[in-house]
Homo-oligomer: A and B are copies of this chain.
Amino acid sequence: MIIVMKTGATVEQVEEVAKRLTDEGLKIHLSQGVEKTLMGAIGDRQRIKSLDLEALPWVEKVVPILAPYKLVSREFHPEDTIIRVGGQEIGGKTVHIMAGPCAVESREQILETAAVVRESGATFLRGGAFKPRTSPYSFQGLEEEGLRYMAEAREKTGLLVVTEVIDARDVGLVADYADVLQIGARNMQNFILLKEVAKCGKPVLLKRGPSATLEEWMMAAEYIMDGGNYQVMFCERGIRTFESYTRNTLDLSMVPALHTLSHLPVIIDPSHGTGKWHLVHPMAKAALAAGADGLIVEVHPQPEKAVSDGKQSLTPEKFQRMMADLGRLAPALDRELGSVSQSVG
């Protein structure tokens, strides 16, 4: 941590800051420039964090040097984390495609969708049973019934199930049915929910909040890891900017950025990331080329009848064409698409 004193700070003021730091057991280096006095403080990072020196009127600013996260950092875990779930590996050479409708609407809809996305090469089935809706008047999900239909689809297709949990009280229930628990973008900083999924024993797909910085996102993952669950994957789904042609601005640079700073896998959601079905296919290819470890894509048998997000959902035919293109692309990137190995009844 570097403390920059205001121009004109007196010797006494500098000494008071120094005393506060040494009282906390920190070692300090004083550096007297022509215009500014700086102080470097070295020691336990938690102790440093708890000092709020910028509250002092003669301190101009405090510059943190160490990142606030630890467990998610590649510095502490240089090798890539591979998440193993239901016979699949996420984070290695294989790229996984997670596909399905925004919301589980009926047994027929989810079984039909599961069959067609598996046919095209998906390895995970996505679908919302609990829906966080911005309007109280919108469809709120089939809840446990929806989870049962997804579990049935897993039985029939071998696809693994990824689904969102929105209430800390439901984590156990969702974990009973799902293979991967999703934390939605609006809940990225719902710390109560993060602490609960930390205890659930299932891998977590952590979506980025629509205005979360990279550091805040990593800190949210740190919450889950600090709670004992090391199977976390990041999911970029677009951030909120002034651009309104797209629903969000899909920030693909997070793929290489996270691969640099962290050891955890990175999944891309081009459906929410763009909000328009005709942009999903090209952005899925771009995500793969950027190095994503997986994609999560909305597919609906009849998008125009979907209860939500129809305008960003692919039809089964468009999904199949996208998968064909991704299949051509993967070898040129030294990656391969996943497949469902398990034989299905």
Contact = CB atoms under 8 A, between A and B. Distances in A.
Interface in A214-237: 214-216, 219-220, 222-223, 226-227
Given A136-B226, A240-B242, A242-B242, A55 B313 contact: yes
B214 A245 contact: yes
A342 interface: no
Contacts of A245: 213-215, 257
Q: How many copies does the complex hold?
A: 4
A133 B49 CA distance: 13
A343 interface: no
Contact of A135 (B68, B251, B260): B68
Question: Which of A214, A257, A304 is packed against the most chain B CB atoms within 10 Å?
Answer: A304
Contacts of A291: 282
Given A135-B68, A135-B219, A239-B243, A310 B250 contact: no
A84 B90 CA distance: 45
Contacts of A210: 211
A109 interface: no
A54 interface: yes
A22 interface: no
A34 B38 contact: no
Interface stretch (A111-119, A148-156, A271-279): A271-279
A40 B36 contact: no
Contacts of A214: 243, 245
A137 B46 contact: yes
A83 interface: no
Contacts of A279: 253, 256-257
Q: Which of A40, A56, A137, A328 lies at the interface centre, i.e. has the most chain B CB atoms within 10 A of its CB?
A: A137
B239 A305 contact: no
A311 interface: yes
A290 interface: yes
A282 B256 contact: yes
Interface residues of A, number: 105
A310 B257 contact: no
Q: Which of A75, A216, A239, A249 lies at the interface centre, i.e. has the most chain B CB atoms within 10 A of its CB?
A: A249
Interface of A: 2, 4, 7, 20, 29, 31, 33-36, 38, 40, 42-43, 46, 49-50, 52-56, 63, 65-66, 68, 75, 132-139, 166-169, 186-187, 189-192, 209-211, 213-216, 219-220, 222-223, 226-227, 239-246, 249-253, 255-257, 260, 273-274, 277-279, 281-283, 285-291, 303-311, 313, 328-329, 331-333
- Which 5 pairs of residues, A with B, have the shortest CB-CB distance? A211-B211, A52-B310, A55-B310, A289-B289, A54-B311
Given A50-B307, A52-B303, A135-B219, 6 more contacts: A38-B40, A55-B304, A133-B191, A249-B253, A250-B252, A288-B289
